[in-house]
Amino acid sequence: MATRDAVQYRAATSADVPAMARCRIADPDAGPPDPRVAAYLDGRHHPQQALAPRVGYVALVDGVVVGYIAGHRTRRLGTDGEVQYLYVAPPHRRRGVGTGLLRSLAEWFRAQGVAKVCVNVNPDSPPAAPFYLSRGATPLDAHWYVWPSLDALLAAPAPSAHRPTGAP
């Protein structure tokens, strides 16, 4: 398990899904968690053009899940990897948790030989697009953003309190 200050990051399994849902359900703006997360993590739910393998990570503060991310190999939009889920509970936003999760996934992508990554940006989440842009993503259209290389993602400035460490 990697630690970035008081936040711990580790690989997620389907056993973490109830805690991931609790993290999200308290946020009235987020809507309900995707009921397919467990099936996704177990390799039983396959988004369009998704390839194996896939991975998820959770961010924990004092043992409580405060955010999560998941991604997989893909052929979507001419990319090699896709961010499928990313969520951070409101009290932990703008504190580097999302960046820490994104870096964890980017490190996994690099280990998988992924060069180019896409993400579907939720237009109902006003902070989503600025977050991805500030982490080096380029918009393809209103919904899809791409990191043309992992270097662009990993080179994005990290909050000073959250220095990247090795992949969890």
Q: The whole model's pTM is what?
A: 0.89
In the predicted model, what is the mean pLDDT of residues 20-26?
Answer: 91
Spell out the domain ranges in the chain. Answer: 2-154
Q: Which CATH superfamily is domain 2-154 in?
A: Gcn5-related N-acetyltransferase (GNAT) (3.40.630.30)
pLDDT value for 165 = 37
pLDDT value for 164 = 36
Instruction: Compute the distance between CA of residue 61 and CA of residue 75 in angstroms, rounded to an integer.
Output: 34
Contact 98, 88 (CB under 8 A): yes
- The 10s digit of each residue's pLDDT in 132-155 is 999 999 999 989 999 999 887 787
Instruction: Compute the distance between CA of residue 5 and CA of residue 75 in angstroms, rounded to an integer.
Output: 35
- The 10s digit of each residue's pLDDT in 57-100 is 999 999 999 999 999 999 999 999 999 999 999 999 999 999 99
Instruction: Compute the distance between CA of residue 35 and CA of residue 42 in angstroms, rounded to an integer.
Output: 13
Residues with Cβ within 8 Å of residue 123, at least 6 apart in sequence: 142, 143
